[in-house]
Chains A and B, each alone.
Chain A
Amino acid sequence: QQPVQSPQAVILREGEDAVINCSSSKALYSVHWYRQKHGEAPVFLMILLKGGEQKGHEKISASFNEKKQQSSLYLTASQLSYSGTYFCGTELKDSNYQLIWGAGTKLIIKP
């Protein structure tokens, strides 16, 4: 049931773009994206509720393809502050709205 995130890790230069993918084998009700910095708690980025929904948060945006049971997080013109581990959390349609987390994608931004 755990969603699969890819890639596991990515190293970027400041200003470069990245895409993080999250896919599920089950039908999804929603997808949640969080970022966690080392030694800190995960922090909410955005929730996508409807198939085809796209949202943006500064230079971080995401899309949700309900039919493919996938979501992607887009980071454009990355900044040093974007470094951390990104988690997707998925709510399955038959799960009583329980959130299951992916293993995370570690993003390292170099100056």
Chain B
Amino acid sequence: DARVTQTPRHKVTEMGQEVTMRCQPILGHNTVFWYRQTMMQGLELLAYFRNRAPLDDSGMPKDRFSAEMPDATLATLKIQPSEPRDSAVYFCASGHYRTVNTEAFFGQGTRLTVV
């Protein structure tokens, strides 16, 4: 049963600390998305990759957020330094792009709380 795996599922950290979230996309998928979900802002696209290359990261605060795909089986989202306003659920999703986006499969999310 192929699925997107995110770790950790929950993270509580103090303001100013570095946070790294990891995502293992479904094998064979060539597109990976990072989303942030809050009650106020809904589902926001932070960044996405195709064939490991970043296509768009305009949704990310550049001064503190960074996203990478060191290899096809791992995507990371890092926040340094973290702030209380970063508290949210962060979802990773993967899909296979051909001529159009197919369905995106979401991971279970990382619930981040910054105190």
How far in angstroms is the closest Cβ of chain B from A101?
A: 4
* A-B residue pair count with CB separations less than 8 angstroms: 49
In the complex, whether B63 has a CB less than 8 A from a CB of chain A is no
**Chain A residues proximal to chain B, CB less than 8 Å:** 29-30, 32, 40-44, 47, 49, 87, 91, 96-104
**CB-based contact A44/B45 at 8 Å:** no
**CB-based contact B45/A99 at 8 Å:** yes
**CB-based contact A99/B105 at 8 Å:** no
Given the known interface contacts A97-B97, A98-B48, the answer about A47 and B42 at a Cβ–Cβ threshold of 8 Å is no
In the complex, whether B34 has a CB less than 8 A from a CB of chain A is no
**CB-based contact A41/B106 at 8 Å:** yes
8 contacts between A and B (CB under 8 A): A32-B101, A32-B103, A40-B108, A42-B106, A49-B100, A96-B56, A101-B35, A101-B44
